[in-house]
Amino acid sequence: MNPVTAVMERLAAAARTPVTDVGVKRRRSAFQSLVACLLSAQSRDANTKKAADALFAAAATPAAILALDEARIAELIRPCGLYNSKARNLKRLCRDLLDRHGGEVPSDREGLMALPGIGRKCADIMLRFVYGEPVIAVDTHVFRAARRLGLSQASTADGVARDLEATVPARFKHDAHLLLLEHGKRICRSRQPRCDACVLAELCPSARTAAPMRVARASGVSQG
Ligand code: SF4
């Protein structure tokens, strides 16, 4: 059996509960999902939520955010870190959405990635969780698990995303992001992977030899 298929079959079989959409990926509108994704760079989920909730309580549309001072936006989103640059990008994003998209969020990868501050990871998260497309978004947890499992040799998140897109069987694409994400968070952890408890151990070239992976601030993906 194709190794990617074997990995996905085991992860799907081992999933304790039905795969559901969680966290910042469930926002009230496409715009709020996009903003939450922008805020999530280099930030823990809980801090991203605090920042997003504070921002949306003050302003929840592109026009309303654009009406705020950049310093005020930075103050509201302070919990998620990098708040000055994120506030700047947020203003540019809102201006772009209003000027070029009538205030609506594009629904294709090219359009999303052309927006200020939005890279492939956020574009793919939007495609999967807002527009329901079978797209595998690669964040730091998916990147780490895919690399250790030998599903990709790529050194960037975008490269891993391209490899997974090409090799994961169609029937697993809808759930692959969440399956790999949960596996990376709970089992294939950065510093201490739980290989002894891993249902993939006999398939994994890194079993019991995986080195810790650190998050590189510049790229937002793990290295190592
Ligand atoms: S065997 Fe270890 S390194 Fe491989 S996927 Fe499982 S936890 Fe990660």
For 10-36, the pLDDT digits (tens) are 999 998 665 655 544 555 799 999 999
Which of 129, 147, 177 delimits the end of a domain?
129
- State the pLDDT at residue 1: 74
Same domain, 125 and 42: yes
Q: Is the CB of 8 under 6 A from ligand 1?
A: no
Nearest alpha carbon to residue 36 among 77, 92, 85? 77
Structural domain span for residue 11: 3-19+135-223
Q: Is the CB of 193 under 6 A from ligand 1?
A: yes
Same domain, 44 and 104: yes
- State the pLDDT at residue 26: 56
Same domain, 107 and 176: no
Question: Strand, helix or coil at 140?
Answer: helix
pLDDT band for 209, please (50, 70, 90 cuts): confident
Higher per-residue pLDDT: 88 or 222: 88
Domain at 150, CATH number: 1.10.1670.10
Question: Strand, helix or coil at 123?
Answer: helix
Q: Is the CB of 51 under 6 A from ligand 1?
A: no
Angle, alpha carbons 34-167-170 (nearest 5°): 70
- State the pLDDT at residue 208: 83
- Sequence-distant (6+) residues with CB within 8 A of 155 are 223
- Total domain count for the chain? 2
Residues 92-142: pLDDT tens digits? 999 999 999 999 999 999 999 999 999 999 999 999 999 999 999 999 999
Same domain, 148 and 207: yes
Q: Using the mean position of ligand 1's atoms as its centre, give its distance from the Cα of residue 187 in Å.
A: 7
